[in-house]
């Protein structure tokens, strides 16, 4: 199957509404079932596969997502490039609500997740992960943003926390000291699993709110998060279509 690009949608992005001629494909993998059906269709003349990371009804919290099945299902379908949409909180000044960012580094604070395809048999996997997001694919994402006029902050460090609860102010203060600009709950082990599979992988971080103790952070509501995600995602169809053509 000729798939130009696979997109994994995060909180607030459960469909790519602009997809045409959509086929819903239920798949299974050696690692179990993915979060939901692969929705494969056309966008701007190119073939796109979309998967909702949390399920289309947001039934799966971050620590219960079967990241291995999700990535393997996309590769089985023929994808070689994966754009991860991650809804995040902003920590440093350039990453306020409704900002789109393309981070270039991450720190993993998660625990207890299935973080490798290695299952104890054969040679252990030790992938190079110094640059967790594929540099050339990031370059293409940034170029697509310039072509389409979508404002995208280049760089930043994504801190992946366990969830599903949000972080304390003290935890965010520690993350700031560690060098994190963004905080989310789904960046790992997804990025590392993509690397193990040889997939080009980049993150498009959608800032939904200030993290605890940052900016003018107040009590975070789901309505606020979804409103900010919708506003920040307005240019996504054009950006994704341009990236798929590149």
Q: Which residues are annotated as a binding site for substrate?
A: 185, 209-211
Binding residues are 11, 53-54, 185-186, 209-211
Binding residues for phosphate are 11, 53-54, 186
Find the DSSP H helices in the chain. 67-76, 135-148, 169-178, 190-196, 222-232, 236-245
Contacts of 234 (CB under 8 A, 6+ apart): none
Q: CB-hemisphere CA count at 13 Å for 193?
A: 25
Q: Identify the DSSP state of 166.
A: P
- The residue behind tokens 């003349």 is 45
Q: Give the separation between CA 204 and CA 224, rounded to whole angstroms.
A: 19
- The residue behind tokens 């760089």 is 155
Dihedral class, residue 106 (left if φ above 0, else alpha if ψ from -120 to 50, else beta): beta
Q: At what angle do helices 135-148 and 236-245 cross, to 10 degrees?
A: 130
Can you read off the two tokens belonging to residue 104?
A: 């270039």
User: Chain-centre distance of CA 226, in angstroms?
Assistant: 16
Q: Identify the DSSP state of 125.
A: P
Contact 33, 69 (CB under 8 A): yes
146 three-state secondary structure: helix
């Amino acid at each position: 199957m000729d798939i130009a690009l696979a997109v994994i949608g995060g909180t607030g992005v459960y469909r790519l509404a602009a997809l045409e001629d959509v086929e819903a494909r239920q798949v299974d993998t050696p690692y179990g079932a993915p979060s939901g059906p692969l929705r494969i269709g056309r966008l701007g003349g190119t073939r796109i596969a979309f998967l909702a990371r949390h399920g289309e009804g947001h039934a799966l919290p971050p620590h219960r997502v079967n990241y291995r099945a999700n990535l393997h299902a996309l590769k089985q379908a023929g994808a070689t490039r994966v754009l991860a949409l991650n809804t995040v909180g902003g920590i440093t000044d350039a990453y306020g609500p409704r900002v789109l960012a393309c981070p270039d580094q991450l720190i993993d604070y998660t625990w207890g997740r299935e973080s490798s395809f290695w299952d104890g048999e054969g040679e252990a996997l030790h992938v190079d992960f110094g640059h967790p997001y594929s540099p050339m694919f990031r370059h293409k994402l940034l170029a697509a943003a310039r072509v389409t006029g979508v404002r995208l902050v280049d760089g930043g460090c994504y801190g992946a926390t366990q969830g599903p609860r949000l972080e304390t102010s003290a935890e965010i203060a520690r993350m700031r000291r560690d060098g994190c600009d963004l905080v989310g709950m789904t960046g790992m082990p997804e990025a590392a699993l993509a690397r193990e599979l040889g997939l080009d992988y980049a993150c498009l971080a959608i800032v939904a709110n200030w993290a605890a103790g940052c900016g003018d952070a107040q009590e975070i509501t789901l309505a606020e998060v979804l409103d900010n995600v919708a506003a920040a995602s307005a240019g996504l169809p054009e950006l994704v279509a341009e990236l798929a053509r590149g």
